Amino acid sequence: MEKFDVIVVGAGLAGLAAAYTLAQAGVEVLVIEKGDYPGAKNVTGGRLYVNPVRELFPDLWKKAPLERFITREGASIMAGERSINVEYCGSELSQEPYQSYSILRAKFDRWFAKQAERKGAMLVSKSRVDDVIIENEQVVGVWAGGDELRADVIIACDGVLSLLAEKAGLRTLGNPKDYAVGFKEVIELDSTLIEERFGLEDNEGAARLFMGEVTRGKFGGGFLYTNKDSLSLGIVVGIKDLMEGSPTVQAPVLLDEFKQRPEIARLIKGGESVEYSAHVIPEGGLKAIGKLYGNGILLAGDAAGLAMNIGVTVRGMEYALASGYYAAQVVMEAKEKEDFTANSLSVYEKLLNDSFVIKDFIAFKEAPTVLDSPRFFKHYPELMGNIMKDVYEVPAGPKDRLYPTIKKYLTFKEMWSMAGDMRKVMKI
């Protein structure tokens, strides 16, 4: 039996943020990772927004192996046969410090783990944590690959399913409506081709989100991020919608159809798929966040349910980094008091509540309910596509005036429903 001050389960962003912060403060911390190396099991869309976490890890960003800083933000509304695209470019996006970067997690997490090790954290890879050890209602350690490992406190950063949180009795199996599944391909493409196709220079990058037909009207959307010399192209779709929503479709078919769309096909042309990955994403918002701590245990990152989709942005990694950081702060306070009971660790909730993490979740607490309407993912994309088609069409005969062209789609009934949806959207 071995005893450590702190055991972190999972070398993802939350776990590594916790380990990095603790090690920096001289606390003895062991990180246990089931993958071959940190990042081996970790998946993102993905893009990392640095602003909210920049100051929590001031020394980290300069050399971090991030891909491209995002200077072009795109959104596409996709109907069956047509699409409407908006691209936003702003001078602030091209100025340092850059707001967000595309990221590949196997690369980033591996590097981040090295930084944590440099600060003094211990890392054991290829080891799966099988259970928590509970004595007198206090978590006192874990079983990992037949080894009994003890610690004053466990920080469970074992991802969205957090089997550890279930074993510690902090939560039960989640409800499909609170989760989405994301799946993506990494498509290698020459960096000069990427820059030409997306109108980028040097390390500039583009991010695009797609909604509508890409998910056949189900809750979710498509995404595309430019990496240094690859594209991350994928789909996120609500699990409940996928299970029972009509039409019935197998998840992988959505990505294949997406790739075949002419709008996408020309962007990935000549590229070579090098990896296919998938992961569940917590998307239940504030209501789905359960208990974040217990006697001798804290949850951080996806394990704590900290990811959020509000349509225009899909975020999770900043919350993971921040919650890992705050978990570390709580552990250090608890260490001072030599008290690792839930009562002592409850400061965690206060720290998260006072930070951007829970403030964001409160601000956007209506988003999951509001966005859970097929009108946004099916009806409006088709409607807008049809209006655009008629607006741009020049027929053989005389062209109708613009106002009646649009008006014929915007019936009283349609306007009434739109006003209703608008009232809902205003809650976001």
Partner 1 sequence: MVYGRGYEKGDEDMSELSGLKAKLGLDVFKHDSEPHIRIKPGMEKDPRLKAAVLVCPAGLYTENANGEVELTIDGCLECGTCRIACGTEVLEWNYPTGGAGVQFRFG
Residues in contact with partner 1 by CB under 8 A are 34-37, 39-44, 104-107, 109, 125-128, 144-145, 159-161, 163, 173-174, 176, 179, 181, 183, 185-186, 230, 239, 242-244, 247-253, 255-257, 273-280
Q: Nearest distance from residue 400's CB to partner 1, in Å?
A: 32
What is the closest distance, in whole angstroms, from the C-beta atom of residue 229 to partner 1 in the complex? 11
Taking the C-alpha atoms of residue 117 and residue 123, their distance in angstroms, rounded to an integer, is 7
* Angle between helix 317-337 and 347-354 (nearest 10): 140
User: Quick one: tokens of 97?
Assistant: 């410090």
Q: CA–CA separation, 242 vs 106, rounded Å?
A: 28
225/326 with CB nearer partner 1: 225
Closer by beta carbon to partner 1, 24 or else 203? 203
Residues 6+ apart with CB under 8 A from 92: 99
Of 238 and 294, the one with the shorter C-beta distance to partner 1 is 238
Rounded least distance, CB 407 to partner 1, Å: 33
Q: Which residues, in sequence order, are CB contacts of 42 under 8 Å at separation 6+? A: 12, 13, 35, 105, 106, 109
Residue 204's DSSP bridge partners are 69
CB of 274 vs partner 1, minimal distance in Å? 6
Answer whether 167's CB lies under 8 Å from 145's CB: no
In angstroms, what is the minimal distance from the CB of 167 to partner 1?
Answer: 11
DSSP run (H or E) holding 370: helix 367-371
Q: Are 163 and 16 in contact (CB under 8 A)?
A: no
* Closer to partner 1 by Cβ: residue 167 or 335: 167
Tell me how far, at minimum, the Cβ of 351 lies from partner 1, in Å.
28
Residue 41 or 72: the one with the smaller Cβ distance to partner 1 is: 41
State the nearest-atom distance from the C-beta of 43 to partner 1, in Å: 5
The residue among 162 and 344 lying less far from partner 1, judged by its C-beta, is 162
Task: In angstroms, give the least distance from the CB of 276 to partner 1.
Answer: 4
Pairing of strands 204-212, 69-78: parallel
Give the distance from CA 5 to its chain's centroid. 30
213: exposed, middle or buried (Cβ count in 10 Å: 0-12, 13-18, 19+): buried
Nearest CB to partner 1, comparing residues 319 and 326: 319
Nearer to partner 1, 135 or 272 (CB): 272
Rounded-to-integer distance, Cα 182 and Cα 35, Å: 20
Distance CA 87, CA 268 (A): 18
